Structure formats: C-alpha cells, structure tokens
Structure 1
Amino acid sequence: MTQSYRTIFLSDVHLGTPDCQADLLIDFLREHDAPTIYLVGDIIDCWRMKRKGFYWPQSHNDVVQKLLRKARKGTRIVYVPGNHDELLRDYQGIHFGGIEVLERDVFETADGKRLLVIHGDEFDMVVMNHRWLAHLGDMAYGFAMWTNKWHNRTRKLLGLRYWSFSRWAKLKVKSAVNFISDFEEVLADEARKHDADGVICGHIHHAANEMRNGIRYINTGDWVESCTAIVEHDDGRMELIDWSRRIPAKAGLEPQTETPKSIVAAHEAA
C-alpha cells in the first residue's frame, strides 16, 4: 500500500557508484508518493564516474525511470544540485523531462513555515576553498566504503549484521561531531538571512530533524548507508523516515538500538 505525503525530500543518492542503495530507494519510491518531490543534491555522482569510469547498473537506471514516470504523471520534481552533480547548476530554471533544476528554493509548508532548501556544500569550507582536498576526501570515503564492504562480508559469514564505520564515526569521533555541529549552525544562520523558519539540506550524510536556536534544521541524510528521507505530512509536520530501520532484514543494515537525539521524527512547533 502506497503512503501519500504532501512533499518528499531526498538527497545524496550517489547514482553512478557501487555504494548507492538503489534497490532500497526504488522500494521507498514504490511505497511512498507525494505531489512534490525535492532532490536535494548529489543525486548523480559525476565526481566518481569521472574518476573511476562509467558505472550505471540497471537498478540506477530504474531509479531515474521511476522519477521520470512520476514527473510524467504530474508530480512536481525539483532538483537542487550539490557538489557531486554541480554540472547541473549551469541549467537552473531549465526543465528536463518534467524535472525542474533550481540552485536553491524557499519551500512553504502546509502550516505556513518557510524552509530554505539547499544542498549545503556552499558552506563546507573544504569544498569551497580546497577542492583538491575535497576530492581526496571523497576518494578516502570511497576506499572506506570498499573496505567496509569486505569487512561486512566477513561479519555476514559470522552471522552478524552490517556495521558502518562511517556512521559510527559521525556519532563518536570528536572531530566529526564538531564538523557536523558547525555545519548545522552555519546552515541555520543562512536560513535566518533568508527570513526562513528553517533549512532543509543534505551533503554531510547525517540525517537530522531538530531545532537549533529557534531554527528548524533538517538534513535528509543519504542513500549510501543510512537510507533516509524527509516527508511532509498534510498538516505541515516534518518526519524523518529511516528506511533501513523500517526494513533492516531487506536492507542488510543494522538498526540502531536507540535513536540519536538528532534524529527526531516529530515536527515541533517553531
């Protein structure tokens, strides 16, 4: 049975890489629908394909076709590019098969809240000022995902569930925690500059839905490890859906024993 919402927000799918959980995203899109879908950057990983060569299995094509079919049936799809698909920033205002490209947008919820929609890489100082270091970091992340894959094959043989070093590090390593906190503060400040009540972003692969000094900070997460999305209910309530927790056996991902404070599903009054 398909669950309908007012709006769906997705980001950091990274189509074109072996790490993309395309099959799980197809399942999610099959079971969730909305008249408006925002793609909040890094949907296609042009960086990785340029460096590693073309990688595009059928499941990745199925994701694109699924979105295009929704667009043909009347779904408004807004694509806000990120740093990995930054080539599309040259085409803002253009429609591709019913998909509209915008550099950023201000979205109004059903209950009248104004939310700045932006990928967020513009406020990552490494990406902005040291692009070579950003590419190096991307290569290191790819290597970490590769080693993690082999590590988890061993865990599977031992009857253990998937364990993500990257996901663990974001919650436990002090420098990673500090980077995430700083990123959230900067994005909240940007929302204030636009007289918005909050911000919806991606980029750092760390899902969140929380208040930061009177500003609603929402991060859609990713479809590489966490498999998360943000949905807006008809009353304007924003909810974080962790698809890996909904179907852990199918995802092959280990559900967390407790939900971090930063992952709060209910939309509190701003």
Structure 2
Amino acid sequence: MDAITRLPFDADIHEFSASEPTIPEPEGQRGRRRFRTIWISDVHLGTRGCAADLLIDFLDSTDSETMYLVGDIIDGWRLKKKFYWPDTHNDIIWRIMKRAKRGTRVVYVPGNHDEMFRQYAGLNFGGVEIKRQAIHETADGRTLLVAHGDEFDAILLGHRWIAFFGDQLYHLMMRINHGVNWVRARLGKPYWSFSKVAKQKVKNAVEVISQFEHTVAAEAARRGVDGVVCGHIHHAEFRPLAGVEYYNDGDWVEGCTALVEHFDGRMEILHWVEEMAKRDASRPVLKIAA
C-alpha cells in the first residue's frame, strides 16, 4: 500500500479520523497569545527532522482568527520511501483540525513535498480550505500573495532530479541534527539547528536564498499586490524587495518559526525556541522552605 494512503485520515477528503492526541491541550483558552493571522510552513510531518514537540507547544500557546498552512506540512516525498508517523505528528494534525472546527479559518496551500493535495484545490477538507495560492488582506488594508514558493524555484522547475538529490542530502543533515539535539536535550540544552548554521556560513546557499527572494518579490510586484508570504527555503525573513514586502515564515525543522499578524496589521516573525526561553525565564521560581 502506498504510504500516503496510510496517513491518519479517511479516503474521503471531507472526513477526518485522527485519534485523540497523546499530549493534552491546556484547559481553556486563557493564557494563549492571540493574533489576527498565523502563517506556518515546512513542518515536514512524516520525517524525523520535524520538531513536533516545539510545534505542539506553539499551537497550544497561540490562537488566531485565520491560520495559513503554507506548504510542505506533510512530507510525501519521504513517506513514499519509508513510512514514519509517530503519535506527535498525529497530535499536530488533530490540533489544526480542532482549530478549524472551533471557528478558525484554516487555509492550506500545498507545497512541493505535499503536492499530492494540490489536486484537491478548491475543496474543503474537514473545515480546511485547500488552495493553490491565496490573497490575504491585512487589518490595515495591504494585500499579500500567499504561496509556498516552489513555483518560483528555478532548480526545482528546471532540474527536478537535482531537487530530489538535494532532498536526500538535506535529510542526511537532518538525521545528524536529530542526533545532536537528542544529546543536547539530555544535557538540558535548548534546540540547535546544525543545518541552519551551515546554510548561513556557505556563500552559495546565501546566494541561492537571495535569488529566490528576489524572484518571489518580483512576481508579487508583477501581480500588483503589496507583499508576499512564502516558505519553501526554510529561511525566515522579512524585508522590502522589488517595491513589495517579502515575508518568509521559515520552517518547523530547523528554525522553528512562524509569521504572525497582530490585530493592528503589524507583522512579526516568532522564533519559537527564543519565545519559549523568554516565557520560561518570566515564570516565578518556587522556593522550598528548609
């Protein structure tokens, strides 16, 4: 059986049968940070590199009127090679579906790793709208194109075999990263991304990222929107380019970041490891009497 058909949802695109999560949500909604809009992408469920525990913490700590899933939520490329689906990955799906059920507008824009869902564009999956691309209007009236970004990737479009080869190297790096963080967790140290540091140090990688950003921004300018939100390259960023605002919401493998819109239209990139550290530092320390 194809690995994709064994994911924890029914064949009927309108039904969902995920089991109850193994990690309970906090009781009630008090204490959650509320935003007008949240964008996340590149979760890569179905791989060992997915930082599932960190994303669960994010989902349990935030809420929004609208949530965009900007592609590569499920890694179909990896699942076709080897099926891997721990309970925590089911927990993430369950939490997203629960948001949709309780009234959050959830829009799913599939990417290249979960391109099998693009055939369902225009349909509603358990309250989740599936779209090839979307236009978001901010609270202060700006229009933002929302797209995964692979459609602007020259390497992926022109040389698909290179993309698959690069994917193999990337997952090797993720396995190294997983081992390093397994050791760090037992030493009481926070999550650290080996591949993120490597990309920042390699000149060619920086050039590829810059070229991608300029291509995406130029397309947004051509379409006459005020900005663009994408994922794909696992590099969270915000900067003005080509006369528009370029936003990349990052990923939940390396950087563990999300893009959020506040209720006044202000945009912010949340680096969740840092947000968790600030939250933990602000908690009062209980002293035990002698």
Task: State the TM-score, normalized to the length of structure 2.
Answer: 0.82
Q: Does 1:108 align with 2:122?
A: no
The match for 1:23 among 47, 50, 53 is 53
| Cα contact 2:48–2:178 (8 A) shared by 1 | no
SS of residue paired to 1:35: strand
1:14 paired to 2:47: no
1:37 matches 2:63: no
More deviation, 196-205/148-157: 148-157
Q: Which of 56, 65, 68 does residue 97 from structure 2 map onto?
A: 68
TM-aligned CA deviation for residue 214 of structure 1 = 2.5
The equivalent position to 1:121 in structure 2, one of 150, 153, 159, is: 150
Match of 1:267 in 2: none
Please, what is the CA RMSD of the aligned residues? Answer: 1.9
User: For 1:36-61, what per-residue CA distance to the aligned partner results, in whole angstroms no more than 9, with x for missing partners?
Assistant: 1000000000000101x211111100
Where do residues 85-96 of structure 1 align in structure 2 (5 Å cutoff)? 85-96=114-125
Instruction: Measure the CA separation in 2 of the matches of 1:9 and 1:160.
Output: 27
Unaligned runs of 5+ in 2: 1-30, 281-290
More displaced 10-residue stretch of structure 1: 146-155 or 215-224: 146-155
1:240 to 264, 269, 272: 269
TM-score, normalised to structure 1's length?
A: 0.87
Tell me the alpha carbon deviations over residues 174-212 of structure 1, each in whole angstroms, 9 at most, x when there is no partner: 101101110100000010111011100000000011112
Cα distance change of structure 1 residues 3 and 159 upon mapping to structure 2, 3 Å threshold = closer
The question of 1:174 aligning with 2:203 is answered yes
**How far did residue 23 of structure 1 move?**
1.4
The residue that corresponds to 1:217 in the other structure is 246
Return 5+ residue gaps in structure 1 as ranges.
Answer: 252-270
Question: If you compute each CA radius of gyration, which structure gives the higher value, 1 or 2?
Answer: 2
Please name the residue that 2:12 is paired with: none
State the identity as a percent: 54
Contact conserved, 2:221 with 2:243, CA < 8 A, in 1? no
User: Pick from 212, 227, 239: which aligns with 1:198?
Assistant: 227
Match of residue 25 from structure 2: none
Q: Would you say 1:5 and 2:40 are equivalent positions?
A: no
User: Quick one: which amino acid aligns to residue 40 of structure 2?
Assistant: L
